[in-house]
Copies of this chain bind each other. A is one copy, B any other.
């Protein structure tokens, strides 16, 4: 018979609090919560759009027809995500896709009236969401927040080797 292990509730609580200041470990939860809330807003609107579909229709409405790569670039996502989502959207009648005559590698994506209607149905609810966020953050705070995200994103692009090498070389140890 193995004796029972005991849990130290204080330690567990302390760990939870300490992790609050760890940006890396907070991102997954914040992003997951954002995605979940986004999906609930879309459900509420009733158009049956997924997150990716909503983002894509919005991009197409705002910036007009463009290539798959353009959409991926705007969303800062891998092209394969769109490459998979778009045929489904075409099947639903939201977009049209045609091979570019200027560059036969490219596929030009364009919203249809039906896609526009789906966008129009979801847009007011999604606009409410952004407006509600502006009740909680001032214009300036949003800019600061976005600035932090910019800087973090830049940091996240630095290759591992460089970050570890710098440290090992003792570069900027005190900075």
Contacts and interface: CB of A to CB of B under 8 A. Distances in A.
A20 interface: yes
A152 B2 contact: no
Interface in A64-110: 64-67, 70, 73-77, 98, 100-102, 108, 110
A128 B167 contact: yes
B146 A23 contact: yes
Contacts of A4: 98, 100-102, 108
A33 interface: yes
Nearest to A44: B160
A70 B44 CA distance: 32
Q: Which of A136, A150, A161 has the largest number of chain B CB atoms within 10 A? A: A136
B164 A125 contact: yes
A50 to B, nearest CB: 13
Q: Classify chain A's interface size.
A: 35 or more
B12 A70 contact: yes
A158 B149 CA distance: 23
A63 B20 contact: no
5 contacts: A5-B108, A7-B67, A33-B153, A128-B164, A129-B163
Interface of A: 2, 4-8, 11-12, 14-16, 18-38, 40-41, 43-44, 55, 59, 62-67, 70, 73-77, 98, 100-102, 108, 110, 125, 128-133, 135-137, 141-146, 148-161, 163-164, 166-167, 172, 175
Given A7-B65, A26-B149, 8 more contacts: A4-B98, A12-B70, A23-B146, A24-B129, A27-B35, A28-B76, A33-B157, A145-B148
